[in-house]
Chain A
């Protein structure tokens, strides 16, 4: 888990104790522990799903369509084409997490440098703010609609649309944390010492902004998971027959009266993943809050 390796340079020599304190707070919060375990399990299943899925996700079996959950050989039943629902959920979760990670990575790669620049250089602030305003004017679904019109619908385009839509949020938190850090003595000392702007940003500001970036990422991932589900459901994301929780729900909608479980299960998985990330994100934010145990 990346939390363990986050450098907490702000506290200087006492940095280790801060990290230990954050970890201790997380360990003592039962919600944090449960959500972490759920996420770790989901990550393992998602990583290994191509090998541990009980059936081939594309394997149709027209003699056994709409088998209910509990059917021997098909723990969660089969869909309208007789494909194994459990296998498709496992691979679908893998796709969801992949899109979410791609999207959040995109937003961080573009958003973090812009946020740092906007907070650190006064002259850049106005330009970057207008850029943020511009991005905000295109909601992710509309962005996805535009991208799909220009480049066609795909997993990558879904991730790009979600990622672009998340850039303003990243810029906002990184910018305000940079403003805060810039006013602190150790940054001023580095500047007086003759350090270049780039050096100050890379060595002093960025490492200390990691905790807000981390919290932002844990909030952004569940939003991206929901975004992927929406886009795939609408046909703007992952294209059938590739398994995706969103497309599973889209096809289940047509047969919902006949096979209601097919409409329930993928949704439960999406919600479970998003909920685990949101709960863990809340716990992480509380644990990182220097005001500590007040909340």
Chain B
């Protein structure tokens, strides 16, 4: 167990280091002089010289890299070329929106996916299963940004049920916040719900035909009790696994969803930065995404070994 966790921690740290190198070199791969790119409007020789000095561009690459890591570790991601605001304070306002949106989407997707998956497994071969399977396939195939467009068109604009765009901070107005964010969260959660449903269904089917469930049934345990016990335990593992595996998709999805619903989160910040060629922001966004992915997946692995004791023995996620 300890050995497994140590190995995982070492791998995560290594991946983190490598991705930092990639992001660092990415900025050096920009066409032309990085100082020019970082300078934005003010391109006087003095400004360029100051930037070269501030970012250590006049130093050898390894030293530049060490300086970069040092700055990032202190939360210094540079200053946005377009707004002049430190990237770190942009992140402080944008990140909570995205985190809230993603967590709500995961919650909704887990509830819907686990429910439909258990239902499909228990009602095998009946209309309920076909319906759940069909919906899952559609959920996998539908471009969710398009669903978002339709939802705005028909639920927000035509029916007036939800605000079409905009955002109210959670602490300022919790009800208004929920009203703004619930539709985007549903849209973001559709694909995830479909994947969770399919996995839950096959995990349940496997569990239902396994020896210990047969034993439990033979002991005279009521089928409902068997299903609930196994459904809960298995679905927890399924949800944790899928969230770990699909985190990349979730982050990508959040970017698009925020763009459509005009939520002032991480995703909107990213897309705006690309079109404004705001390199310090792009660099911070890419690095933070990679870091979040690596850290969350490490936590998922930790959680695994808590939920599923088999992993502690074999050292490999099931």
A and B bound?
A: yes
B255 and A141: CB pair below 8 A?
Answer: yes
A275 and B137: CB pair below 8 A?
Answer: yes
B249 and A139: CB pair below 8 A?
Answer: yes
Min C-beta distance of B34 to chain A, whole Å: 11
Interface of B is mostly: helix
Q: In the complex, A102 Cα to B156 Cα: how many Å?
A: 37
Query: Contacts of A278 on B, CB cut-off 8 Å?
Result: 137, 140-141
A139 and B143: CB pair below 8 A?
Answer: no
Interface assignment of A233: CB less than 8 Å from any CB of chain B? yes
Query: Contacts of B14 on A, CB cut-off 8 Å?
Result: 130
Interface assignment of B256: CB less than 8 Å from any CB of chain A? yes
B31 and A150: CB pair below 8 A?
Answer: yes
B149 and A137: CB pair below 8 A?
Answer: no
Range, interface on chain B: 35 or more
A149 and B279: CB pair below 8 A?
Answer: yes
Interface assignment of A15: CB less than 8 Å from any CB of chain B? no
Partner of A139, one of B141, B152, B293, B297: B293
Q: In the complex, A105 Cα to B138 Cα: how many Å?
A: 25
A149 and B30: CB pair below 8 A?
Answer: yes
B15 and A137: CB pair below 8 A?
Answer: yes
Interface assignment of B289: CB less than 8 Å from any CB of chain A? yes
B277 and A149: CB pair below 8 A?
Answer: yes
B252 and A142: CB pair below 8 A?
Answer: yes
Q: In the complex, A252 Cα to B294 Cα: how many Å?
A: 37
Interface assignment of A230: CB less than 8 Å from any CB of chain B? yes
Partner of B289, one of A142, A229, A235, A282: A142
Min C-beta distance of B269 to chain A, whole Å: 11
Interface assignment of B225: CB less than 8 Å from any CB of chain A? no
Q: In the complex, A141 Cα to B293 Cα: how many Å?
A: 13
Contact A267/B140 with A230-B252, A257-B157 known, Cβ cut-off 8 Å: no
Interface assignment of A165: CB less than 8 Å from any CB of chain B? yes
Interface assignment of A114: CB less than 8 Å from any CB of chain B? no
Query: Contacts of A271 on B, CB cut-off 8 Å?
Result: 138, 141-143, 146
Contact A249/B286 with A130-B11, A140-B248, A236-B274 known, Cβ cut-off 8 Å: no
B binding-site residues for A, Cβ under 8 Å: 11, 14-15, 18-19, 22, 26, 29-31, 137-138, 140-143, 145-146, 149-150, 152-153, 157, 247-249, 251-252, 255-256, 259-260, 270-271, 274-275, 277, 279, 282, 285-286, 289-290, 293-294, 297
A-B contact pairs, 6 of them (CB 8 A): A138-B22, A138-B286, A149-B274, A236-B274, A249-B145, A274-B143
Q: Which 4 A-B pairs have the closest CB atoms?
A: A139-B248, A141-B252, A267-B146, A274-B141
* Apart from the given pairs A137-B15, A138-B293, A222-B141, 4 other A-B contacts in the complex at a CB distance below 8 Å: A142-B289, A149-B279, A150-B26, A257-B153
